[in-house]
Structure 1
Amino acid sequence: MQTHKKISIINTFLVFIFLSIFIYFFNIKISFNNILKIFILILIYYLLSNFFSKFFLLDTYKTIQKLNKILSTLHNKFIDELEDNFVSLQECFNEVFSTIKLDILDILVKEEEIKKEKEKAEILSTELRELNKNLEDKVNERTKELIISKEMAESANKAKNEFLAKISHEMRTPLTPIIGYSRILAKEINDPSYKEKLEIVHTSGVKLLNFTNELLDFSKIESGKVDLNYEPFNVRALFQEIYHEHIDLAKAKGLDFKIDYLHANVSIYSDKIKIYEIAKNIIHNALKYTNKGFVVCDVFVEKNTLFFDVYDSGVGISEENIANIFESFVQIGKEQSGAGLGLSITKKLLKVLNGTIKVESKVGQGSTFKIQIPIETSQKEFENFSDVVNKLLNSNNSGIKTIFLKSILKLPLRIKELKDAHKKQDIEEVRKINHLIKGTYGNLNLSLVYDISEKISLELKKENISFDSILHYIEELEYLTHTLDYNELFNTYLQFKEREIKILIAEDAEETRDFLKVLLETPLIEVTCVENGLEALNLLKTKKFDLVFLDISMPVMDGVQTVSTIKANDNFKDLPVVALTAHAIIGYKEKYLNYGFDAYITKPINDSVLFSCLEKFVLSEKR
């Protein structure tokens, strides 16, 4: 059936249904005429619908054909373009996928390489862990070795310190009477020949004391920080002494030995002991390495410089060995004895004194040592210091004499405190003590003390303070006290104060007890000596004393036990107790003061410090 007819039938049927519904809802009565009318109306509607549907469908069909043609054209064009695009897209995808494929392949290759590197890294990590483990084992092993070495070093150092402390004590104890008696006898004996011999004994004792001090602190020599002790002395006398010490050795070897000091009969101001050690080492070395021929020393002083040249016809030194002879433990010849420290110490001492040494030598022909040491001309006013003091003491005003004596007696202890502060490099303490010295002795018109103290003040005001210069000035002050007889000054002071004092000494060495009794005992000073601390305590129960000297190392009861017992007793807690000991190791002073001692004096006894200590603890107005 044609399409337009189908549409007409459908439309007619729809109209019929509509009319039926209309009749039903409006209750229209149905009659034959109405049915006929409706039938005719439906038929007419069918025919019209058929006509119009055919007409409109034909037109629509044409339109659709045109549209179909257009769509076909568009379809063909779209398909062609789409095919072209698909080709391009395919090529693009092929290119992209080729690149991705290459990238994937590259990634796979790199992944394989990474895998291999990872395996290598794991192998290296394993090896590293093994090495670390071995290293840790080695470190632990080395640490144990170092701990053992440290313990051994500490043990050796402790043994060294104990040995040096023992050496110090054993050497200082006999040096006390040697130096002390020789000094006392030199004042009492007028015979020049005996006086000269006593001076030799005294000088030898001082040299031995200085050797002990340097032995106790050899590190100072190694670091070039040796304390300088300036004093005036005669150059000719010094080298004359060295000549007499070595002439026997020269004669025994058949050598022509000579020291030309005719042009050196002059007094200079420097460290006598250090210069002695330098000259003695050089001359002794020349004699030691010369088996035939001569050893000659030429000494002279020019422009504040001491020169001495030592010539010998000995074995000589090769050019390559000249640079090494100043090293520690080095010897020119293996056949020679000795530690090989002489020239090493000489070089270090010269450095301390700002001196120089030059060596010229040829093997088999001999050597020449040329030494230069800066010095100062002897300060003559130092030698007149005692005259200045005695002149002031001859004043008729007893009040002035008492004040002056008191100040002079205080000076040694103040200088000792000043030196202790300098060793600690405590600038404020040095300034404080020096200010006290300058003020006190400036007011007393003691220009020699004031002028030196003023030099210290000026040095302390500098931006870069020279501790060596300050030490030099302190040594000058110390030397001033050495020109005075403090025994006489103290007893004169006792007379002015109208005092008699009693001193108790506990000392196990008989020779030291006897010396102290000779040094201290006068009509105004009563000295009682006992051998140990227990005897001292028993004596304190029955007799009153003004001051007690205690040796540290004594049998039965030592000094530490004794002072602890004394200070624990309310009856004796204000009694001054001074440690008098041969223990001179650095740090001992603070150690023993903490035990309760009021002061600490080392052996050999320094007269000026001893009597200064008596003035402080026995005659002070504060007591």
Structure 2
Amino acid sequence: MTTIVNTLPVGVEIYSPDGKMQFLNDTDFKIFGIPKETFDISGVNINGNPNLPDKVKKVVMEGGDIRCSFPYSFNTVKDSSYYSTSQDGDIHIECIGRPITDARGQLENYLFIVQNVTETVRATRQLEEKKQLQDNILNSIPACIQIKDIEDNSRYVFCNDESQRLFGISVDKTIYDVMEAKRVSRIEKTDKEVFATGNPYNGLEHIELKDGRSYDALVRKSVIFDSGKRMLLTVRWDQSLQNDLKRRTKMLDLSMEIMNAHTWFYEPDKDKFSFGEGSDNLIINPVLHDSLKKFISFVHPDDRKLFLDSFRHAITHENEKWNVEYRADLNNNGTYNWWQTQGLVETTQRDEGLYTFMFGMTISIDKHKQNELTMMRENEKKLNGLIQQNELILNNTYSGLVYITTDYIVQWENVANCSASLTYEAYKKGSHCYESYGFTSPCEDCVMQQAILSRQTEQMQNTFENGHTLEIFCTPVFKEDGTADGIVIRMDDVTERENMIQELKHAKTLAEQSDKLKSAFLANMSHEIRTPLNAIIGFSDLLMETTEPEEKAEYIKIININNELLLKLISDILDLSKIESGTVELKYDKFDISTYFEDLVISMKQRITNSYVRLLSHNPYPDCKVNLDRNRVTQIITNYVSNAIKYTPKGFIEMGYEVVENGIRLYVRDSGIGIPDEKKNKLFQRFEKLDEFAQGTGLGLSICKAIAEAMGGNVGFESTFGQGSLFWAFLPCETEIHQEKQLQTEKKTVPVPNKSSISNERKTILIAEDIESNYLLVSTILKKDYDLIRAKNGQEAMDIIKSQPVDLLLIDMKMPIMNGLIATEKIRQFNTKLPIIALTAHAFDADRQAALTAGCNEYLMKPIDKTKLFDILQEFL
């Protein structure tokens, strides 16, 4: 019995109930590489086997049945000293365990049947890998491939990924799951026709899915066999890919055609081939191939060894499928075609004994092979085209790209092609990346290594000596097994972006400073306005209480002075605002600044009331024509002189001008107190005064600066504390200097009209004003010389003009019921000759333009200047 067990092709092991080994056969010794002569069986217990799973050990100890397979490591056996073995590496074991019981059913021993199934496991894995490869190939084809079992309610038994993506079809579903029943009939009709006749169908199908998507698809349907069962194969192409699919359609049509095939039968004991169905069309003279020796002579010399080796293996392995591809000239015409032969060996019982035979089918795969070769060439061409296209795209991006493998070798780069600012000759294909920087080993703190370790994109930024800033992104690339393959480096020149960020930060800082200046401006303006208002309100109250003529005169004088100061302050603020906002209109005209300057000198002399101060003037030209806004010139000179008067207790003030390159330079020099160094940086700022107690708004120098800059010029000063100051303003303009005075007609100033200068005939003026105090002021000024009528809104004014004669209309722009603008527009619809003068507290040019556009002849701003009012009345009456 032992001899029989030792000859078994499987290992046999017997263990006692407590797990001690009792017996193992010769096959077991061979499987596990155990030296039979020196093996001590008494020292082996199954519970100490390091490779045996715990669940197996548990079943053995409990006396149960088990069948399992598991990996077996000889290195683990050696490390654990379980037993001595000559084997190395790993194998795969399949074991069957059965308890051996006595007559009473008690566990007597435990039997193990062991088999080395390493090759079987390996073959199974290879088969699974091949199947997975086949599925991957089908899933990578950009066409929808589906197989239906028509006999099983047209259920899908295979759908590739493209089918699931486009149509939402999956295995075990039917077409009714994705389409409405009324849309299916035409598709089912062709399915049944192809399945019934076996004839392929090529056509166009319109598919409308339940989810609202629709496709026009090119379709090919044909019958195929799977394990002997007829199935319907459907291939669809999205017609939107028509240009690309023309080539693919031809390729797929060729590959999907039914292959030519024939059957054969072989008797090994007779060495005889017989040919059956289909052979008449493929083999002209079967006698030439009726033995293995004859047949092999027609096989291509390069394929004969492959054919014979596979044939001999198959003939000795019954029920193992034979499959071989080879080239053969079966018609003996000198042309080798590709064939695929599949077959099986079987043995049956005959009267005279066992009869072994081989049968199978040979299919012509010559077209398939040609298609493979064609597809390979087309794919290679397409791949080369894609590579060129990708390189063209990458080389025209604004980012430099580099691919570096883990050995630091540059595999691909387009840095030099991308941007001149990114080159630095940093990377060269085939060289180590660090060599470009003059190193012989990888850089310290290498960002490439950081990206590989972190397994995510790492970012860094470098600014080079030439001022360029590069932003570098390192993205690791990993293989399927998770190990690093290399790094993709993207480099972007972000110099402009960084400059923009700095500019935005600077702009933000300026905005914050502007906000602070605005708050300070409002605070200063509130203080400066309250100062004269305090005097006006206070002395107005005192004026009402006192009865002394001298006190009344003094109080009125103080009120008038502060009125002028308040008006000057408001005027300066509005003027500064308009100049800085760019809304002021500069009125350039050509005039003789030498003559105009003499008038300014006379005017400035009247402002100096201090007998210890002399006014000097420097007018260097007898005739000098300039093209400037003369009022703004006056404003700059006046502000400079007024400023000098405040800070010059004695000495002189000199005002002058001179022609310089591209314009003129105005200046005012004084021998006053000068400016301390710590206050020089605050000059030309709003509300800034050297002496906080000095009279004035503190806006004069700011206005001078704003005017000069609005005219394209600039301002400046020189000063020594205790010795005096020099303020100047450069105004760009065209100049004409003449050494002799040219005759010119000067515009005479219109004198302020008085009662005697007005016509003896009293005129009627309509005053449209809703506020009582405002009307009282205007009527007080005019009632001695004019007949006055009052309207409290625009509607009343319009009605009065329609009902009685009026010589002139003074109209407020802001009134209830109907404002001045609307009233003026309506009056102009029926009276175009009546002079209309706008009265308004708005001081902006836009308001003045709106009034003139509505139909006003002139525009008078509040508070009313009596002189200007009489000038206007004299002009229009």
Q: TM-score range by the shorter chain?
A: 0.3 to 0.5
Structure number, greater radius of gyration? 1
- Under a length normalisation based on structure 1, what TM-score does the superposition of the two structures give? 0.39
In terms of fraction of residues, the more strand-rich structure is 2
- Under a length normalisation based on structure 2, what TM-score does the superposition of the two structures give? 0.29
Higher relative contact order (CA 8 A, sep 6+): 1
